[in-house]
Amino acid sequence: MSSDIRFTDFKSDEQPTWCPGCGDFGTMNGMMKALAQTGNDPDDTFVVAGIGCSGKIGTYMHSYALHGVHGRALPVGTGVKIANPELEVMVAGGDGDGYSIGAGHFVHAVRRNVDMTYVVMDNRIYGLTKGQFSPTSREDFETSTSPDGTNQQPVNPLALALAAGGTFIAQSFSSDSQRHTEIVQEAIEHDGFGFVNVYSPCVTFND
């Protein structure tokens, strides 16, 4: 831990390719600010990312990083933390990645309560594959794969985490920079599994 770490120390030289106005910019900025404010060093930080637009985040942040396969970021992050308990492990993903194919891993990661942080960029859409409905899409949401609406109740990730015995469960909004940063910082400082669902709007495929 160091008091000399700045937000910019966590920025890599790679330029994000997210759409202008994407909520993931704000989500990532809050993550970097929270890491700096908790005194974490980029050389002692490990970011694990899943698939989708959110999966690019490990490239845009200056730290150790691993881009995992679809839905498997949490077990990878768990393994990293157990093998290297001194590292600050942050897992990042999207609603399509974490609450569909990765839903089983999500529930068990909450149950295990390993000391790491899970930040989900919930845009309620599959954005990278051009706008299919996701587990958190609203019931009447019309997309290319649901022209008459999804006809399904959206998954409530906060309720899932609560039912699984979560010890830190929070929700933030990517455009509320100060509060989002504060929430992620609290998740990092929490002794256990810190889960933050971030409403991160997709300006291209979701109204």
Residue 82, domain member (yes or no): yes
Give residue 61's domain range. 7-199
CA distance 201 to 144: 18
What's the structural domain count of the chain? 1
What CATH number has the domain bearing residue 185? Answer: 3.40.50.970
The answer to whether the beta carbons of residues 125 and 134 sit under 8 Å apart is yes
- Identify which of 78, 34, 52 has the alpha carbon closest to the alpha carbon of residue 192: 78
Rounded to an integer, what distance in angstroms lies between the CA atom of residue 107 and that of residue 53? 22
- Residue 25 maps to a domain: yes
- The answer to whether position 179 is within a domain reads yes
Decide if 175 is inside a domain.
Answer: yes
pLDDT above 80: residue 92? yes
Confidence class of residue 2 from pLDDT cuts 50, 70 and 90?
Answer: low
CA distances to 24, 125, 134, 167 from 54, rounded to whole Å, are 7, 12, 14, 24
pLDDT digit string (tens) for 138-162?
A: 888 888 888 888 889 999 999 999 9
Distances from the Cα of 101 to the Cα of 66, 98, 166, angstroms:
19, 7, 20
Tell me the pLDDT tens digit for each residue of 11-68: 999 999 999 999 999 999 999 999 999 999 999 999 999 888 888 999 999 999 999 8
- As given in the structure block, the two tokens for residue 97 are 């990645």
Question: Is 206 inside a domain boundary?
Answer: no
